[in-house]
A and B are shown apart, each in its own frame.
Chain A
Amino acid sequence: MKTLQMMTRRSGVSLARAWRKAKAVDWFQRITFLGLLLLAVFMALPIIFIFNHAFKPINELFLYPPRFIVQEPTLENFRDLFLKTQSLVIPFTRYLFNSLLTTSLTMIGVIGVSSMAAYAFSKHVFPGSKFFFALTIFALMFAPEAVAIPRYLVIANIGIMNTYFAHIIPLIAAPTSVFLMKQFVDQIPNELMEAARIDGAKEWLIFFRIVMPVCTPAIATVAILTFQGAWSQTETSNLYIQVESMKTLPYYVMTLTNGLANNVVGQGIAAAVGLIMFVPNLIIFLVSQRRVLATMAHSGIK
């Protein structure tokens, strides 16, 4: 009884405190908060739609006007996706495998190349360092369309057409990532590296044991950006791959939604694939968002 009383009193106190806190927030903040909340809900709608759509039976998929929320959820679309496509020349799982493999290799490649380049540009002076960095910045300004033909020629001439390299190598040159990483490495005080040098670390050790760990927020950001770019792009499958079995999942999705526009079963499969395309994005974001939000200020350097 006594504890109950105490509890109610305490919760009363904290409630009162929360109320007072809420009252301390001014009108401008309240309105901004409300506005942002509405915006967040609005932005979340497509996500809700994707999730629901994948589980809709055929009659609901073609419902007009369309509904956000599924009424009678079913796994039929996924069954179609896994079973019916197995009988086709290239099973769906092959596209999925291609995508997973090339996307992860691209991520590893971009992170490796960008962070090493950033470290070199930021903390070392070598002949032409300024020139090469300027070149990297310059590369930021090219529209992808402008480089399509020369890039095609390069890929064709180094002989990696119809290989996984054609999916990976064009994406590894990532000036945005280099720039982003360099901005971050710039903030690492030189003393940190000098201390490691005196402690006996050689250059590659300094890079892996000091620079990379300190840069995790930047690396996480680069990872997300690279993943999103690589996972959903269809250019490499379109341009550099003629062999169907080497193409990637987004390409398959595209053929589904384009070619099978009038195919009733195709719509269900497309909805299921749409969800499968989306889920890794969500996972990557959830895993790395805390790292991304951490900034230099929190890392204890300054």
Chain B
Amino acid sequence: MGSVSFQHVKKQYATERRYSVDDFHLQVEDGEFLVLVGPSGCGKSTLLRMLAGLEDISEGEIYIGDRMVNYVSSKDRNIAMVFQNYALYPHMSVFENIAFGLRLRKLPKHELQERVTRAAKVLEIEALLDKLPKHMSGGQRQRVALGRAIVREPEVFLMDEPLSNLDAKLRVQMREEITKLHRKLQTTMIYVTHDQIEAMTMGTRIVVMRSGIIQQVGTPKEIYQSPKNMFVAGFIGTPPMNFIHGTIQHTSDGVFFDTRRYRLLIPAKKAKVLIDQRYHDKRIVLGVRAEKIACKDSVDWSLTQSQFDSTVDMLEFMGSDTYLHLNNTDHSLIVRVDPLRLGFQEGDTVTVGFDMNNVHFFDPGTEELLC
């Protein structure tokens, strides 16, 4: 029973004026891989530490399984935690590091031996068991830290940015391994990161946080395709979503999104929502992802309905994709294009169009999604 339930959890540090975690309410199912993501200082670690019993809960309740754990000490919560800086015991061998928790639980010797060996096998660190942490690389240390967590066979794994001390290549590899580990163990994992790529690739569900408040909860796909507000839209996805400020114009030809440089026809369904909400002649923000903008003559050009000209400011070659940075005097746009069409030069004028069925409109005041 590794479900976790947060009931309106709040945290206020004695030295802080605001809540560091504010009204966090969420049900995590058994076996889920939940990723908490958000910018630095948004309260992710605080939340995880409250769940681990390392930090008092100011208000609200946390349940692990059916048990309210607010006043249960860390060691009795049946959780394991992996820290960003690994926190391996520096004076103990890898074996002792992994076995420490079991020894304190007075496990019989043969069982201890067996469980440590099994954990080491899963993580492929059998050869390192006699080594001291200081004689290992970052990736190996991280594996040992994972070993220390899985050997305990907890109900819930907590991980606080476990990969952020690794170099880029190793991070990708470990990302995969943790995902595989989760698939194998089927244990609930709560994983904290500020890296949206980790969140997208690893999580079965993502919680996006800002300033201690949940912005959106959903599968990676939901969060990417229908972000609830401008913050989520801008935070998730590389490159970030393009935002364009403009107004809504209702004319006899239809409903248009109007900037000073161009007008884009809004499809009927979205137009109806906007007009019903009385956005005629009001300021609005259009959000469009880099891959929903097409250049003239490209394969997905047919999807676009309105078009305009723009100048290429900069080319960013990424290997499988190329990003064009376009300059539209009052705002810039990032467009993803096929690198096979490398005909573009900086300073060129290109004709681009939006896939208007896949743009989002946000209220510039509340930053909430309108349609």
A residues with a Cβ closer than 8 A to B are 189, 191-192, 194-201, 205, 210, 213-214, 216, 298-301
Contacts and interface: CB of A to CB of B under 8 A. Distances in A.
A299 B91 contact: yes
Interface string B81-100: 10111011111000000001
A195 B75 CA distance: 10
Given A299-B90, A299-B134, A197 B104 contact: no
Contacts of B73: 197
Chain B interface extent, by class? 20 to 34
A194 B52 CA distance: 9
B85 A189 contact: yes
A194 B54 contact: yes
B314 to A, nearest CB: 40
Contacts of B135: 300
A138 B80 CA distance: 42
B352 to A, nearest CB: 49
A216 B91 CA distance: 10
Contacts of A199: 75, 100-101, 104, 148, 152
B159 to A, nearest CB: 12
B312 interface: no
Contacts of A197: 54, 73-75
B209 interface: no
A205 B89 CA distance: 13
A194 B83 contact: yes
Given A197-B75, A300-B132, A205 B87 contact: no
Contacts of A198: 52-54, 74-75, 79-81, 101
Contacts of A216: 91
B38 interface: no
A214 B87 CA distance: 12
Contacts of B133: 300
A301 B54 CA distance: 20
Given A199-B104, A201-B104, A300-B134, A194 B87 contact: yes
Interface string B110-144: 00000000000000000000001111000000000
Contacts of B53: 198
A201 B89 CA distance: 13
B278 interface: no
A189 B87 contact: yes
Contacts of A210: 89
Which of the listed residues B81, B91, B133 has the most CB atoms from chain A within 10 Å of its own CB?
B91
Contacts of B148: 195, 199
Contacts of A298: 134
B216 to A, nearest CB: 30
A298 B133 CA distance: 11
Interface of B: 52-54, 73-75, 79-81, 83-85, 87-91, 100-101, 104-105, 132-135, 148, 152
Contact of A205 (B52, B80, B84, B104): B104
12 contacts: A191-B83, A192-B87, A194-B83, A195-B89, A196-B100, A198-B101, A199-B75, A199-B152, A200-B105, A210-B89, A299-B90, A300-B135
Nearest to B141: A300
A200 B134 contact: no
Nearest to B82: A195
A210 to B, nearest CB: 6
Nearest to B100: A199
A34 to B, nearest CB: 35
A195 B81 contact: yes
A203 to B, nearest CB: 11
B190 to A, nearest CB: 14
B240 to A, nearest CB: 32
A101 B100 CA distance: 36
A92 B307 CA distance: 105
B87 A200 contact: no
Which of the listed residues A192, A198, A201 has the most CB atoms from chain B within 10 Å of its own CB?
A198
Nearest to A296: B90
Nearest to A188: B90
Contacts of B87: 189, 191-192, 194-195
Which of the listed residues A194, A195, A197 has the most CB atoms from chain B within 10 Å of its own CB?
A195
B285 to A, nearest CB: 41
A200 B132 CA distance: 22
Contact of B91 (A200, A201, A205, A213): A213
Which of the listed residues A192, A199, A205, A214 has the most CB atoms from chain B within 10 Å of its own CB?
A199
Contacts of B88: 300
| The 9 nearest A-B residue pairs measured at CB | A300-B134, A199-B101, A191-B87, A200-B75, A200-B104, A300-B90, A195-B87, A213-B91, A191-B83
A210 B101 CA distance: 13
Nearest to B101: A199
A125 to B, nearest CB: 10
A192 B89 contact: yes
Contacts of A189: 85, 87
A210 B100 CA distance: 11
B172 to A, nearest CB: 25
A195 B87 CA distance: 7
